[in-house]
């Protein structure tokens, strides 16, 4: 953590791969990577469980630890060092997760590489480097713990999906995962806003950066949810209704009831 250059260079290389990778794969067949993805996602599930547990033990389970307004403990107290350590692991996990995009490129799943995906992955590396370098603990526990908890489910989903198409019938809960992510961001925004208002010892400029960053994620994830689920659902209902209206208007009410039940 002595210099920000490795983190900055990593993000720059990541962006170059995002831009050049699809062009490099354009005339090449997609890689399957099934066993690589199974191993990768399984390891990230385990890492997420470990980090969530460590954040919980070093904050919620610590007597006298303020869950709403915790300043950073820079001493060599075992619990403080342990919290700083899991903050580092959380930041390091964001470096590992850049491989998500690389796997999309190698499998020619370029539709998954959205602005939201690249923005979230790249920015987390830089934001958390600053956090671990200067504020390794305190209020950081909440966002790290919440995100690690969500990632247990997210990488479990990717793990199951990596086994093949026959697992799709067990992955009906995908849309609820996006809702969980949105709830997470609202909770983090509320926590950060409270800490900013109470002035818990974290540099105010960094706090406001996190506030606006959380808002940006809420906006982007909300748009993703609308485009992926609500808009497509409305289009599907409209497509079903159109021929019925032209053919027999008496069937409309039945289709409407069915669409509501769906």
For the annotated catalytic residues, the residue numbers are 120
Helix (H), strand (E) counts: the chain:
10, 0
Distance CA 160, CA 258 (A): 30
Contact 21, 102 (CB under 8 A): yes
- What would the two tokens of residue 181 be? 């992510």
Rounded distance between C-alpha atoms, residue 249 and residue 253, angstroms: 8
Going by C-beta distance under 8 Å and a sequence separation of 6 or more, which residues neighbour residue 49? Answer: 148, 152
Residue holding tokens 């954040």?
55
């Amino acid at each position: 953590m002595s210099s920000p250059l490795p983190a900055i260079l990593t993000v720059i290389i990541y962006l170059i791969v995002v831009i050049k990778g699809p062009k490099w794969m354009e005339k090449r067949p997609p890689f399957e990577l099934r066993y690589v993805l199974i191993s990768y996602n399984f390891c990230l599930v385990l890492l997420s469980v470990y980090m969530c547990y460590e954040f919980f033990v070093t904050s919620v389970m610590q007597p006298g630890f303020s869950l709403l307004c915790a300043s950073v403990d820079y001493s060599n107290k075992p619990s403080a060092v342990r919290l700083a350590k899991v903050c580092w692991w959380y930041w390091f996990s964001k470096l590992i997760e850049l491989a998500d995009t690389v796997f999309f490129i190698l499998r020619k799943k370029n539709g998954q590489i959205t602005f939201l995906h690249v923005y979230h992955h790249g920015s987390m590396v830089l934001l958390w480097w600053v956090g671990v370098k200067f504020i390794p603990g305190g209020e950081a526990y909440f966002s790290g713990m919440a995100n690690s908890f969500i990632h247990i489910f997210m990488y479990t989903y990717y793990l199951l999906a990596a086994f093949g198409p026959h697992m799709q019938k067990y992955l009906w809960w995908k849309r609820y995962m996006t809702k969980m992510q949105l709830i997470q961001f609202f909770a983090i925004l509320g926590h950060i806003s409270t800490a900013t208002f109470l002035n818990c010892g974290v540099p105010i400029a960094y706090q406001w950066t996190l506030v606006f960053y959380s808002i940006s994620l809420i906006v982007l994830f909300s748009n993703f949810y609308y485009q992926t689920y609500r808009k497509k659902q409305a289009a599907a209902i409209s497509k079903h209704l159109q021929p019925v209206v032209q053919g027999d208007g008496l069937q409309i009410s039945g289709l409407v009831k069915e669409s509501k039940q769906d």
